[in-house]
Every structure is written in structure tokens, then in C-alpha cells.
């Protein structure tokens, strides 16, 4: 499953082939639950208040994973601060 923001990021690639686009659209999305936007803002505020970088998209992705108690598969080291501060579980992504 994908956080909805991840799908948006992936579909933003102008070089994305139609076959990959079609494949991505078949992956189920994590549901946005009541209070998601407020929790995302509070999460981002918490990280910023502690002096961490907290891009909005990363906060939204993190909150989706926290709400559904799922690990985030990523190669992006920017999520390490979300793991330390908010308890986001991380799994390494595949390197090519």
C-alpha cells in the first residue's frame, strides 16, 4: 500500500511511462483518517521545533504510516528524524 502523497509524488514525474503509471494506479492507498491533517501539522511542528528539517510531503507520508502502523520502505535518509522523534518504522528500500 502507498500513502496517497507518495502516489502524487510518483505521478509528478514528467518522464513516467504510461505502463508504470498504470501499475502505480493499481496499488491500494492508505486511507486518510479523521484528524489526519491536524496530526500531520502537529507532527511537523514537533520536528521543526526540535530543529529538524521537516518537508511537508515527508510529514504527510510519515503520518499516513503512523496512522496505519506500517513501516515506510525508503532510501531517503530525511525520514531518519521522523523515526527518532515520532517512532516511524523504517525499512531500507532496494538499491539498484
* Predicted TM-score (pTM) of this structure: 0.90
Q: Which CATH number is 72's domain given?
A: 3.40.50.1010
In angstroms, the CA 10 to CA 14 distance is 9
Residue range of the domain that includes 46 = 4-92
Determine the average pLDDT of the residues in 22-26: 97
Determine the average pLDDT of the residues in 19-28: 97
Question: 10 Å Cβ neighbour count for 52?
Answer: 15
Who's near 62: CB < 8 A, 6+ residues apart? Answer: 43, 72, 79, 82, 86, 88
Residue with cell string 507520508:
61
Q: Give the pLDDT confidence of 72-91 residue by residue, as tens digits.
A: 999 999 899 999 999 999 99
**Residue 85 — φ and ψ, nearest 5°?**
-85, -40
Amino acid at each position: 500500500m502507498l500513502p496517497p502523497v507518495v502516489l502524487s509524488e510518483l505521478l509528478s514525474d514528467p518522464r513516467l511511462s504510461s505502463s508504470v503509471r498504470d501499475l502505480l494506479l493499481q496499488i491500494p492507498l492508505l486511507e486518510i483518517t479523521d484528524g489526519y491533517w491536524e496530526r500531520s501539522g502537529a507532527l511537523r511542528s514537533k520536528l521543526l521545533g526540535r530543529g529538524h528539517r521537516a518537508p511537508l510531503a515527508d510529514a504527510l507520508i510519515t503520518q499516513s504510516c503512523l496512522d496505519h502502523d506500517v513501516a515506510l520502505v525508503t532510501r531517503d535518509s530525511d525520514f531518519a528524524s521522523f523515526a527518532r522523534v515520532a517512532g516511524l518504522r523504517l525499512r531500507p528500500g532496494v538499491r539498484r
